[in-house]
Structure 1
Amino acid sequence: MASKIYKTAADALDGVLFDGMTIAAGGFGLCGIPELSIAAIRDAGTKDLTVYSNNAGVDDFGLGLLLQTKQIKKMCSSYVGENDLFMQQYLSGELELEFNPQGTLAERMRAGGAGIPGFYTKTGVGTLVAEGKEEKVFNGETYILEEGIFADLAIVKAWKADTTGNAIFRKTARNFNLPAATCGKVCVMEVEEIVEPGELDPDAIHLPGIYVHRLVQGEFEKRIEQRTVRKKESA
């Protein structure tokens, strides 16, 4: 079996990137984001991107790096409140935005990974989210049709993986990384540690390696999105 391990994120993305592509990105806030892949995409200059991600990073980190260079054409997100650049580009008409309720976005990724083209949900009925979407009544309740996400590329971050791609996500970083990894035609996963097959407890594996095409081991900044400290108490 050909090795899935690449030396750098740029190497792992070689031959995969193209202008106008769709990307599913893992992460929650700045927790568990595929920061190496994001930087490599920025350096590659790939443009007119449609990105599916829970949020858009901050102004100078995470997906905010791709907003700085205006490589993202459209964001499909749940929360973008930490990124002033995002707001500026959206209000000026430079950036398209599709808001997705958080659970709906996660399920759209999961559905795509399972080969499901669409599903009905009550979330968003009667709001702007429902505009232009098919409605159907089940047992007297109205539901709207949401489409599964089938991305050209998934970029995700895991804590530990074996050489075949079986992966473990650490705590909150499990979030959107798991469904995002499954819905890409190609999945590039960056990890903190790569071990040999058999070293991971089979019952602890969150993502089977069959979903992972390329692996990169690297070092990460792990920046804190909002640092809150308690005032020092006087003696």
Structure 2
Amino acid sequence: MKTKLITLQNAAGFFRDGMTIMVGGFMGVGTPPRLVEALLESGVRDLTLIANDTAFVDTGIGPLIVNGRVNKVIASHIGTNPETGRRMIAKEMEVQLVPQGTLIEQIRCGGAGLGGFLTPTGVGTIVEDGKQTLTLDGKTWLLERPLRADLALIRAHRADPLGNLTYQLSARNFNPLIALAADITLVEPDELVETGDLLPDQIVTPGAVIDHIVIPQESK
């Protein structure tokens, strides 16, 4: 069986200018730091990033924004990273703010191959602008379309060589759904274990949806 284990240098070979990339995490918790650093050091530009938030200037996906690598951000919160707001106001970067529940459901639909979903969230607000509305049972709904990416960067707690993953506490957050919604999924685990060490009922993300696992530093 072909191994899914790769080095961080190998992972950097997947990065391209203009890609749409989903990144797991919540204010940096659950974001894969080595993969984000490798993405920054690769020099790629004009990225579209899909993430819950832009974290802080030195945390999560923040350094990618600070260094001008991002053309567009789709997120639910940007308030803790002043550089995101500055670039948005200066029209140096497009920011699409999406209600958090809507954002994760768009990602889930992308992973499940669905055409979208109906939600009342945002009706009558700027969230509605440019979107199709439907009236069902006397209530107005927004049609939200699915989100997918060229690449997903996720963080796991433990991974086996087959790509089966577990997560640690709140670091789980968006990672399991993001893993399903990209053409290629790269995983940065805290720990690499042997095949069979993870019990079936412990596994959150099955290896069938994982493309490559970055070998942890201590496993070199």
**What interval of TM-score do these two structures reach, taking the shorter chain for normalisation?**
over 0.9
- For the residues of structure 2 that align with 1:117 and 1:150, how far apart are their CA atoms? 11
Residues 39-64 of structure 1: CA deviation (Å, up to 9, x unaligned): 11111111110110000121122211
Tell me whether 1:188 sits opposite 2:186 in the alignment: yes
Give the AA of the match of 2:140: T
Give the conservation status (yes or no) of the 8 Å contact 1:13–1:188. Answer: no
RMSD: 1.3
Superposition TM-score, scaled by structure 1 size: 0.89
Q: How many residues align structurally?
A: 218
SS in 2 for 1:36: helix
Give the conservation status (yes or no) of the 8 Å contact 1:192–1:217. Answer: no
Q: Tell me the equivalent position of 1:144.
A: 142
- For the residues of structure 2 that align with 1:178 and 1:141, how far apart are their CA atoms? 32
Give the AA of the match of 2:174: F
Shift of 1:72: 0.3
Give the AA of the match of 1:11: N
Q: Tell me the equivalent position of 1:225.
A: none
Aligned counterparts, 1:152-231, within 5 A: 152-218=150-216
Give the AA of the match of 1:105: L
SS in 2 for 1:62: coil
Tell me whether 1:7 sits opposite 2:7 in the alignment: yes
Give the AA of the match of 1:183: A
SS in 1 for 2:201: helix
Shift of 1:219: 5.7
Give the conservation status (yes or no) of the 8 Å contact 2:29–2:60. Answer: no
- For the residues of structure 1 that align with 2:201 and 2:152, how far apart are their CA atoms? 24
Q: Tell me the equivalent position of 1:73.
A: 71
Q: Tell me the equivalent position of 1:25.
A: 23
Give the AA of the match of 2:74: C
- For the residues of structure 2 that align with 1:139 and 1:165, how far apart are their CA atoms? 45
Residues 160-219 of structure 1: CA deviation (Å, up to 9, x unaligned): 111111101111111111111110100000001111221111112111111110101336
Shift of 1:115: 0.9
- For the residues of structure 2 that align with 1:108 and 1:164, how far apart are their CA atoms? 28
Gap regions ≥5 residues in structure 1: 221-235
SS in 2 for 1:202: coil
Q: How high is the sequence identity, in percent, across the aligned residues?
A: 38
Give the AA of the match of 1:182: L
- For the residues of structure 1 that align with 2:216 and 2:83, how far apart are their CA atoms? 28
Give the conservation status (yes or no) of the 8 Å contact 1:112–1:149. Answer: yes
- For the residues of structure 2 that align with 1:199 and 1:91, how far apart are their CA atoms? 50
Give the conservation status (yes or no) of the 8 Å contact 1:7–1:217. Answer: yes
SS in 1 for 2:83: helix
Shift of 1:117: 2.6
Give the conservation status (yes or no) of the 8 Å contact 2:27–2:59. Answer: no
Gap regions ≥5 residues in structure 2: none
SS in 2 for 1:178: helix
Shift of 1:13: 3.1
> Which aligned runs of 4 or more in structure 1 are off by greater than 2 angstroms?
217-220
Give the AA of the match of 2:126: L
Match of 1:122 among 120, 123, 127: 120
Shift of 1:30: 1.5
- For the residues of structure 2 that align with 1:193 and 1:47, how far apart are their CA atoms? 30
